[in-house]
């Protein structure tokens, strides 16, 4: 199993609003067997150094972050320095809020991404964008996500690929993962189900997405971190994180057996 299973802290955002809550939640993740986290959704008033201390105390390492887009544009050097203090090397953004309704919008968006990516590269870091559904709008036969991949420097810009939102946009997550091979080190695992005739989130393995095929694609295309995320939980988010991790362990074990590992 090449992928390292991690926790996207956005799932636990309601538990990490204070330092006490952050400490308790990180302790619980460590007890559940997690060793990697994506730093996102944390509103506790913590300095980067304090974050690193708490994570170190619980055997946890940051593999990527989601940082505010405004800060990435206005003070990328400070953002880079903070991530270095936390021990992180992949600096991501979840939602830029940039309109993508015209080709001119997309061109400006790509230019800004490349600009931020170059600054991160100067600090020995990599910038990565996380997709929702807007990035699958198509212009001239290409999605916005494909345009970003083709028109940015691979050394400066990567992708934190979310399989859930790709499928929600009508795209094939497996096809995109294979097309983006080498540009995705972090992949979001969240499952999709239906509740009361509406799309809903579920622990990984308890929805309808083909995560067996997604796991295989990730293993074969260089994905390093399989990050569990669930935007809305129907029960305690830590229970969801425990159930998702247990299922993903079975995915990894099954894949290894098939490969004769």
**Phi (first) and psi of residue 169, to 5 degrees:** -85, 0
- pLDDT bin (cut points 50, 70, 90) of residue 260 is confident
Rounded distance between C-alpha atoms, residue 253 and residue 188, angstroms: 19
Is the pTM here over 0.85, yes or no?
yes
End-to-end alpha carbon distance in the chain? 8
Query: For the segment 26-53, what is each residue's pLDDT rounded down to a tens digit?
Result: 999 999 999 999 999 999 999 999 999 9
What is the per-residue pLDDT for 169? 97
Please give the domain boundaries of the chain with CATH numbers for all domains: 4-258 (3.20.20.150)
Looking at residue 259, the DSSP 8-state letter turns out to be T
Contact 150/119 with Cβ under 8 angstroms?
no
């Amino acid at each position: 199993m090449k992928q390292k299973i991690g926790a996207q802290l956005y799932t636990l955002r309601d538990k990490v609003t204070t330092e006490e809550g952050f400490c308790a939640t990180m302790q619980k993740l460590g007890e559940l067997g997690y060793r990697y986290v994506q730093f996102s959704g944390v509103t506790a008033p913590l300095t980067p150094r304090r974050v690193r201390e708490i994570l170190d105390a619980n055997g946890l390492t940051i593999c990527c972050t989601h940082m505010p887009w405004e800060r990435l544009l206005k003070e990328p050097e400070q953002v880079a320095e903070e991530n270095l203090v936390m021990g992180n090397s992949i600096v991501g953004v979840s939602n830029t809020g940039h309109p993508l309704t015209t080709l001119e919008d997309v061109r400006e968006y790509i230019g800004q991404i490349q600009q931020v990516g170059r600054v991160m590269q100067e600090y020995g870091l990599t910038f990565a964008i996380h997709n929702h559904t807007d990035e699958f709008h198509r212009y001239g036969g290409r999605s916005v996500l494909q345009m970003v991949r083709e028109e940015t420097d691979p050394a400066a810009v990567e992708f934190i690929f979310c399989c859930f939102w790709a499928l929600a946009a009508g795209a094939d997550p497996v096809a995109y993962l294979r097309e983006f091979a080498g540009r995705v080190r972090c992949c979001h695992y969240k499952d999709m189900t239906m509740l009361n005739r509406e799309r809903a989130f579920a622990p990984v393995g308890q929805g309808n997405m083909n995560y067996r095929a997604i796991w295989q694609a990730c293993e074969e295309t260089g994905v390093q971190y399989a990050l569990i995320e669930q935007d809305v939980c129907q029960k305690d988010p830590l229970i969801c994180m425990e159930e998702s991790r247990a299922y993903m362990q079975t995915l990894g074990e099954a894949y290894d057996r098939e490969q004769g590992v």
